[in-house]
Amino acid sequence: MPQRTVSAAETELIQKAHQYMPGGSLGNIGKDIVISEGSAGRVRDASGNEYVDYLLGSGPMLIGHAHPEVIEAAREQLDKGTTFFANNDKAILLAEEIVRSVACADKVRFTSSGTEATFYALRTARAYRRRDKILKFEGGYHGMHDYALMSMSPADPHDFPRPTPDSPGIPRSIQDEVLIAPFNDLETAAAIIEAHHDELGAVIVEPFQRLLPPQPGFLQGLREVTAQYGVPLIFDEVVTGFRFAYGGAQEFYGVEPDLCSLGKVMAGGFPLAAIAGKDELMTHFDAASTESDAFMPQIGTLSGNPIAAAAGIKTLEILRREGAYERIFATGQRLKDELQRMLDEAELPAKVIGEAPLFDVFFTENDVTDYRSTLLADKPMLARFNELLLARGILKGDSKFYISLAHTADDIQRTLDAFASAIDELKR
Ligand SMILES: Cc1ncc(COP(=O)(O)O)c(C=O)c1O
């Protein structure tokens, strides 16, 4: 098997990472690899090895690394100052573009991370509804705050709707405020919402949960039952926003929530995220237009940072150009189809799941439609496949292929060759 060559300089950095950082990592990807540069659809490690990149910084780099126009936009802003803690032209213009393009967005409030965005989206819904409980879906990822870390990845899940905390350090009382439902099971989710509607402040869902597409009617049904009881519906579009379509998953799947969280793509690779939604909810951020006991303070030193906003505006402009989404979808569909074909030909039980811009393989014979079915897949086999790909110059996350507009025909060919050779080895 080809091995990644690791230089003395990278080895030293890896040793320092273990010496100075818990777990030897930033907490993100666990691999002992130091990435030192990226350009378009490729990255290079500190030893000079080059990879076709499907990690894409965990998704933000949809148009590719170091896009010259985005760098120029960020650089122009750098020369003018890096942060002001005051309204700035770039943040205002980015908010305008989000309202223009995202169906549920009447108003926008910026944060620095997606975690903050989902946290504030939940608080906004609770402030509006004046109820405390939230419902989230098992396996749904909404960042790292206390409410999000309920049944995000339980090894041994409780019966619905009881949550399982994903981390120590979360107050026990949070468990009493969170209900858990199964993704893609409208009947069970609707029954929980009906039974608890009078206590519910919000329902939050990833419209495309991790890698699981919603089954036909699931999001529509959630929209109907939440509307029936007046419970705000939040789409967490941190991943899907501006990726599945310019208007996000709400455009792609044709269902409009009351609020959404955005991040990743719209920030052009910088720390910026947003809560966007209907006027009647977003008004809680406005001291002048809401009762004093309904006003929600929300302050962040870097919220609406002008460099991030400048990069975001330019990224969105590039995505609006003709053919951008067609290209992303064509690349993703080709890789997805070819991967499934090669795995079938090799007679390895495997399902390639997702949509063209974001997918991965589950090594299983079973249908994969909800969190519990993902647990039946062979995880060590996926980890081995990822390792084999890395050794062949393909970098991806533990469980995701993110597709970029910058991936070239050469990148695709290199990936297909790596698939073939990795699958060959996997069979042995
Ligand atoms: C759906 C979803 N929501 C929220 C987040 C949290 O965003 P951040 O990592 O910027 O805090 C993520 C991050 O991957 C995400 O995928």
| Residue 121, SS3 per DSSP | helix
Residue of minimum CA distance from atom 16 in ligand 1? 239
Looking at 319, 343, 361, the residue that finishes a domain is: 319
Q: Of the residues 319, 338, 353, which one is the last residue of a structural domain?
A: 319
Looking up residue 19, the CATH number of its domain turns out to be 3.90.1150.10
- Nearest Cα residue to 111 out of 100, 103, 119: 119
Does 198 fall in a domain?
yes
Atom of ligand 1 nearest to the CA of 264: 10
In a domain, 179, yes or no: yes
| Angstrom distances, CA of residue 369 to CA of 180, 205, 353, 354, 388 | 16, 15, 9, 10, 27
Judge if pTM exceeds 0.75: yes
- Name the token pair of 12: 């030293």
Claim to verify: residue 56 and residue 73 sit in the same structural domain: no
DSSP labels, 194-252: HHHTTTEEEEEE-SSBTTBPPPTTHHHHHHHHHHHHT--EEEEETTTTTTTSTTHHHHH
Ligand 1 centre distance from Cα of residue 411 (Å): 27
What is the biggest distance separating any 2 CA atoms in the chain, rounded to whole angstroms?
Answer: 67
- Cβ–ligand 1 distance for 269 under 6 Å, the answer no
For the chain, 428 residues long, give each residue's pLDDT as a single digit of tens: 677 899 999 999 999 999 999 999 999 987 799 999 999 999 999 999 999 999 999 999 999 999 999 999 999 999 999 999 999 999 999 999 999 999 999 999 999 999 999 999 999 999 999 999 999 999 999 999 999 999 999 999 999 999 999 999 999 999 999 999 999 999 999 999 999 999 999 999 999 999 999 999 999 999 999 999 999 999 999 999 999 999 999 999 999 999 999 999 999 999 999 999 999 999 999 999 888 899 999 999 999 999 999 999 999 999 999 999 999 999 999 999 999 999 999 999 999 999 999 999 999 999 999 999 999 999 999 999 999 999 999 999 999 999 999 999 999 999 999 999 999 999 98
| Pairing of β 200-205 and β 133-137 | parallel
Q: Are residues 265 and 407 in the same domain?
A: no
Question: Are residues 27 and 153 part of one domain?
Answer: no
In contact, 243 and 76? CB cutoff 8 Å:
no
Q: What is the DSSP letter of 170?
A: S
| 1 located within any domain | no
Q: Is the CB of 331 under 6 A from ligand 1?
A: no
307 contacts 82 by C-beta, under 8 angstroms? yes
- For atom 9 of ligand 1, the residue with the nearest CA is 114
Is residue 143 within 6 Å of ligand 1 at its C-beta? Answer: yes
Cα 218 from Cα 212, distance rounded (Å)? 12
Same-domain check for residues 267 and 402: no
Spacing of C-alpha 209 from chain mean position: 9
pLDDT tens digits along 213-243: 999 999 999 999 999 999 999 999 999 999 9
Q: How far is the CA of 422 from the centre of ligand 1 (A)?
A: 30
- Supply the pLDDT for residue 1: 60
**Boundaries of domain holding 371:** 8-66+324-427
Cβ neighbours for 126, distance < 8 A, ≥ 6 positions apart: 132, 134, 201, 202
CB 141 within 8 A of CB 296: no
User: Could you tell me the distance, in angstroms and rounded to a whole number, from the CA of residue 428 to the centre of ligand 1?
Assistant: 37
Residues 160 and 283 occupy one common structural domain: yes
Residues 337, 238: one domain? no
Segment (H or E) for 348: none
Residues 315 and 338 reside in one and the same domain: no
CATH number of the domain at 163, please. Answer: 3.40.640.10
Are residues 287 and 328 both part of a single domain? no
Q: Answer with the one of 268, 293, 319 that is the final residue of a domain.
A: 319
Per-residue model confidence (pLDDT) at position 31: 77
- Considering the domain architecture, whether residues 62 and 74 belong to the same structural domain is answered as no
Backbone phi, psi, residue 100, to 5° = -65, -30
169 lies in some domain: yes
State the Cα angle at 151 between 150 and 157, rounded to 5°: 140
Q: Are residues 50 and 111 in the same domain?
A: no
CA–centroid distance, residue 116 to ligand 1 (Å): 9
Q: Is the CB of 358 under 6 A from ligand 1?
A: no
- Say if residue 214 is in the same domain as residue 310: yes
Q: Is residue 3, in this structure, part of any structural domain at all?
A: no
73 Cβ closer than 6 Å to some ligand 1 atom: no
Q: Is 249 in the pocket of ligand 1 (CB under 6 A)?
A: no
Residue 156 lies in a domain: yes
Name the domain count of the chain. 2
| Active site (catalytic) residues | 141, 236, 264
